[in-house]
Amino acid sequence: MIRVDNVSKTVRSGSEELTILKGISMEIKAGQSVAIVGASGSGKSTLLGLLAGLDSPSSGYIHLQGEDVTAMTEDERAALRARAVGFVFQSFQLLPTLTALENVMLPLELSSAKGARERALELLEQVGLSARAGHYPRQLSGGEQQRVALARAFVVEPDILFADEPTGNLDAVNGGHIEELLFAMNQQRGTTLVLVTHEPHLAELCERRFEMRDGQLAEQH
């Protein structure tokens, strides 16, 4: 499903070169749930971005569903994301000028799928927000916004779901609710889940755990 071969990422900041990731390799099978933990600034988000094809590595290869992401253009990677990848972010990332329903419909519209409205309503129902479909993000609480984001992530039936600290901005109760939903929907659909988190108990819920340290990745057993 996901194969990472010796991936490094170097960025320039000013005149200095900063190597964030140093020769990372890993393999994730379809349907697995994986947690990536590590100190702040250790490079977790950078790795997640590479896995999802948001960015390309300085060296090494990444295969997603058997396709070499590193050989793709940005637009090809975008097409792949539209087809197979879902996202949940720490800061929710809903479009403020769209209603909850429209936010959920957005990825479907991007891949011009049919029946977007019905699908989106269905997903909102699943996250328990069908009553708030017409509300704008600013009218929703943080937890509700993240539930909308979850619905949006699952609406395209992604093969892989990436989540970067999905509960990071939420209190314990709301965070717990999101966790439950996340794992429930994941299991229901057999989605591969890659999760970056600071919360040990969230990591515990995953089948496999990796720790990022100084740009290197080690699996915890």
Partner 1 sequence: MLQLRRLLREIRGGELLLLAVSLVLAVASVAGIAGFAERLKLAMGERSLYFLAADQVLVSPSPLPPEWLEKAENSGISVAKTVSFRTMVYGSAADPADEKMLLVALRAVSDRYPLLGTVQFSDTVYGNAQESAGGPPRGEIWLDSRAFAMLGIAPGAEVEVGEARLLASRVLVDEPDRSSSINVYGPRALMHSGDVASTGVVQPGSVVDYRYLFAGDTAQLDSFAGWLEPKMLPSHRWRTLTDNQPALAQSLDRAESYMLLAACLAVALASAAIALSAHRYGQQNIDRVALMKSLGASRRYILSFYARQGAVLLGLAVLMGGLIAEALQGLLFQSIAQLLNVEVPAGSWRPLLTGAITAGVCLLCFAAPPLWRLSRVSPMRVLRRDQEQDNAGLAMPLLLGGGAMFGLMLWFSNSVALSVAVMLSSVVLLLLAAALVLLCIRGARSLSTRMAGSRQRLAISNIYRRRYGNAFQLGSIALALMSLLSVFLLREMLLKDWQSQLAEGTPNYFLINIAESELAELDGFFSENGVAHAGIFPMVRGRLSHIDGVPMADTDIDANTAGLNREVNLSWSAELPSDNRLLAGKWWSNTAHTSTDSDRLPVSVESEVAERMGAELGTRLQFNIGGQTLDAEVTSIRGLDWQSMRPNFYFLFPANSLGRYASSYITSFYLPAEQRPLLVEVMSAHPTITLIEVDAILAQMKEVVSQLSAAISLIVLLLLVCALLVCVSNVQLSLDTRRQEYALLRTLGAGNRFLRATLFLEFAFLGGLAGLVAAVGANLCLVALQIWALDMAPRVHLWSFLFTPLASAVLVTVLAAGYGRRLLRTPAVALLRGR
Ligand X SMILES: Nc1ncnc2c1ncn2[C@@H]1O[C@H](COP(=O)(O)OP(=O)(O)OP(=O)(O)O)[C@@H](O)[C@H]1O
Could you give the string, one character per residue 49-68, with x where binding to partner 1 holds by CB under 8 A and - elsewhere? x--x-xx-------------
Q: How far apart are CA 9 and CA 23, in angstroms?
A: 8
Q: How far apart are CA 212 and CA 40, in angstroms?
A: 10
Q: Which of 45, 99, 146, 186 binds Mg ion (CB under 5 A)?
A: 45
11 DSSP β-pair partners: 18
Which token pair is 140?
């929703």
Any contact of residue 205 with partner 1 (CB under 8 A)? no
- Secondary structure letter of residue 39 according to DSSP: -
Could you give the string, one character per residue 134-153, with x where binding to partner 1 holds by CB under 8 A and - elsewhere? ----x-------------x-
Q: How far apart are CA 64 and CA 161, in angstroms?
A: 12
Question: Helix or strand or coil: residue 202?
Answer: helix
Any contact of residue 46 with ligand X (CB under 6 A)? yes
| Residue 110 binding result from Mg ion, partner 1, ligand X, none, given CB thresholds of 5 to 8 Å by partner type | partner 1
Could you give the string, one character per residue 18-37, with x where binding to ligand X holds by CB under 6 A and - elsewhere? x-x-----------------
Residue keyed to tokens 């010796």: 6
Q: Which stretch binds ligand X (CB under 6 A): 39-47, 67-75, 111-119, 144-152?
A: 39-47
Could you give the string, one character per residue 81-120, with x where binding to partner 1 holds by CB under 8 A and - elsewhere? xxx-x-x-x-x-x-xxxx---x--xxx-xxx---------
Q: Cβ closer to partner 1: 115 or 204?
A: 115
In sequence order, the 6+-apart residues with CB closer than 8 A to the CB of 171 are 143
Q: How far is CA 91 from CA 6, 87, 94, 170, 218, in A?
A: 30, 12, 9, 10, 27
Residue keyed to tokens 């050989």: 71
Any contact of residue 121 with partner 1 (CB under 8 A)? no
Nearest of 200, 100, 98 to residue 147 by alpha carbon:
100
Q: Which stretch binds partner 1 (CB under 8 A): 30-38, 58-66, 78-86, 182-190?
A: 78-86
- Binding residues vs ligand X (CB under 6 A): 11, 13, 18, 20, 38, 40-46
- Binding residues vs Mg ion (CB under 5 A): 45
